[in-house]
Structure 1
Amino acid sequence: MWSDDNSATGLTGIKRQYILITPCKNEGANLPNLVQSIVVQTIRPVLWVIVDDGSTDNTPEIIKRVVKEHEWIKCIQSDSSKRDLGLHLASIMRGGFDFAIEYSEKNGLDYEFLGNVDGDLSLDYTFFENLIIEFEKDPKLGVASGGTNHIIGDKIIHAKLREDEPSGGHMLIRKGCFEACGGIPLSYSMDSVLKAKARLRGWKTRRFEENIATEIRDVGSAEGYWKGFVHLGNAMYYLNFHPLHVIAKSISLFFRRQGCIKGIACLVGYLNSAIRREKQVNDEEVRDYFWNKWKNVYKQPLLRWGH
């Protein structure tokens, strides 16, 4: 049902209000699709902050137009001074949420959830309403996302993952969970760190595959796969995964599409980070959490091993 009244509440009395953040850089080809899919949401955000990270294409012009057309959409320029590219996105996201929270407080905007969505996505028009309904069903649900479709050539491939692994590109977070976790961590793999901290505090994390976000950018090239899964291996080292867990993950990837590239790339990424003794997450509870995940791997079928 269409709801243009963001003060509407569900059957449980939870306010169906959320603020939304989108970091973007040079998304001129994709951003109009995202804007259209947000504008037609059955429950729209009370505030949507688009963070422009120094775009050099027509992204700024698109943002200026939509900000003028919709008073609930705001734009800020990234002022991240982080030279470490791995922390740059986390810094942008934290800055966007800090602005949105402060703006909401100053302007009397109430919200129960905080969300983020990548600039290269397009969402089903009931996307956020469906997620909010799931939060209403389970008061311990802290972090949730939909499923993701990828456009690869002329095909649409659905990337199905474990149901307890929300996608970092289109998450919705309960306000109480967000605050209990200390907000967005200034960290590599910030979504993985956030989800770990949520679980450690007793919150559930869920992925609802039938609620679809479509990634518009073609990510199907072999080069794209290699870079993406090298990064996964880097991230697994940073998060302090047990080496045997990484090997299990790499083996499981061989059974998937383009599996040889994915499995080898993941292992190469982990080993490169280990050999260079790159820094790891500076949070003891998070390091222990990911190291100890190995204890649960043997309980899972091979094809479901992963992070």
Structure 2
Amino acid sequence: MNPEPERKYLLITPARNEEDNLPDVSESVTGQKVTPALWIIVDDGSTDETPQILEELKAGYSWIQSIRLPPRPRDITFHYSYVCKQGFDYALEYCRKNGIEYDYIGLLDADTVLEENYFGKLMDEFEKDSSLGIVSGGVYYDVGGKLSREVSDKNLPRGTGRLWRKFCFLETEGYQVEPSPDSISNTKAILRGWHLRQYVDVVEIQKRKTSAGEGLWNGYVKNGWMAYYVDKNLSMVLFNTLYYSLKSPYYTGIAYLYGYLNSAVKKENKIKDMEIRAYYRGQNLGFLFSRISGVLSRSSTDAGQGEQ
């Protein structure tokens, strides 16, 4: 008989000027029914009260640590993944030096509040299905006191609140400094036979709209650039343009297409990882129709993200 799996996980959170959100986010993490074995919060050069909040958290909980990154030019392409990777690398080395065991690795943005048993529920799913490699809950927004889910593909975990099985994380080359690193991690996991899942009944409440950190227009221009960067084929680009255009606000589709076409005209660099490029070039009409069917089956009252 196999021994009972350990319910231990690491958690990484990038944070920059999050004094408004971090108190609620940290309360939701410290109040988890299963708390992390280690929580690393990466202070990306905050100029508000974030450093003081982190010092108070470290004083109150031995399993919370933070690192502060030196000033570095910010951009909406590689910077986020760079900050996160500093946290992952630090956490893995910290565990190695201090003999901390763990079975899962999580990523949580500093604007996301979790339900009380968020990670416990996700680990339950891992324990039921050994083929699961990456999971997350569903992202919701508090709209006038009611929760509204941001619809996206249930077979694709969200970026914030995601949890990797340790072996999947290592087998897929960890967390890479790339634009849209979560999509790249998803793709590598799929190509290695792992199953992915978003459990929409496991609730995470995001305080900012997805892709809104630099403004919605810039966020969706980045998504278009990312489509060009990974060599996504034109049929998928046009589908995503239409999909975004049907959302609110409508201009997100225009921003997405502009980002793609602007990159194509400039002949900007594409990702060097040929495995990723081959995957996105190979998304055929069957894949496209499955995406359309998925969109049509979703609730028309929810606002969606939908990009992979």
- The normalised TM-score by structure 2 is 0.89
- Aligned equivalents of 2:18, 2:74: Cα separation in 1: 22
Q: Does 1:232 align with 2:223?
A: yes
Residue 86 of structure 1 deviates from its aligned partner by: 2.1
Residue 174 of structure 2 corresponds to 183
Q: Does 1:77 align with 2:68?
A: yes
1:148–1:209 Cα contact (<8 Å) kept:
yes
Q: Does 1:287 align with 2:277?
A: yes
1:82–1:91 Cα contact (<8 Å) kept:
no
Cα 1:243/1:147, change in 2 over 3 Å: same
Residue 79 of structure 2 corresponds to 88
Residue 3 of structure 1 corresponds to none
Residue 34 of structure 1 corresponds to 25
Equivalent residue in structure 1 for 2:117, among 122, 126, 129: 126
2:45–2:70 Cα contact (<8 Å) kept:
no
**Aligned 1:12-161 pairs, distance under 5 A:** 13-79=4-70, 86-151=77-142, 156-161=147-152
Between 180-189 and 19-28, report the one with greater CA deviation. Answer: 180-189
Residue 299 of structure 1 deviates from its aligned partner by: 3.9
Residue 254 of structure 2 corresponds to 264
Residue 170 of structure 1 corresponds to 161
Residue 153 of structure 1 deviates from its aligned partner by: 7.1
1:278 maps to a residue whose letter is E
- Aligned equivalents of 1:83, 1:161: Cα separation in 2: 28
2:31 maps to a residue whose letter is V
Residue 300 of structure 2 corresponds to none
- Aligned equivalents of 1:25, 1:110: Cα separation in 2: 29
1:285 maps to a residue whose letter is E
Cα 1:226/1:80, change in 2 over 3 Å: same
- Aligned equivalents of 1:79, 1:138: Cα separation in 2: 41
Residue 154 of structure 1 deviates from its aligned partner by: 6.8
1:280 maps to a residue whose letter is K
- Aligned equivalents of 1:228, 1:157: Cα separation in 2: 21
Cα 1:257/1:33, change in 2 over 3 Å: same
- Aligned equivalents of 1:124, 1:46: Cα separation in 2: 18
Residue 275 of structure 1 corresponds to 265
Cα 1:152/1:230, change in 2 over 3 Å: farther
Structure 2 unmatched ranges of 5 or more: 296-305
Structure 1 unmatched ranges of 5 or more: 1-10
- Aligned equivalents of 2:225, 2:248: Cα separation in 1: 21
SS in 1 for 2:205: strand
Residue 92 of structure 1 deviates from its aligned partner by: 1.6
1:287 maps to a residue whose letter is R
Residue 294 of structure 1 deviates from its aligned partner by: 3.2
SS in 1 for 2:42: strand
Between 290-299 and 159-168, report the one with greater CA deviation. Answer: 290-299
1:78 maps to a residue whose letter is L
- Aligned equivalents of 1:100, 1:298: Cα separation in 2: 41
- Aligned equivalents of 1:84, 1:105: Cα separation in 2: 32
Residue 202 of structure 1 corresponds to 193
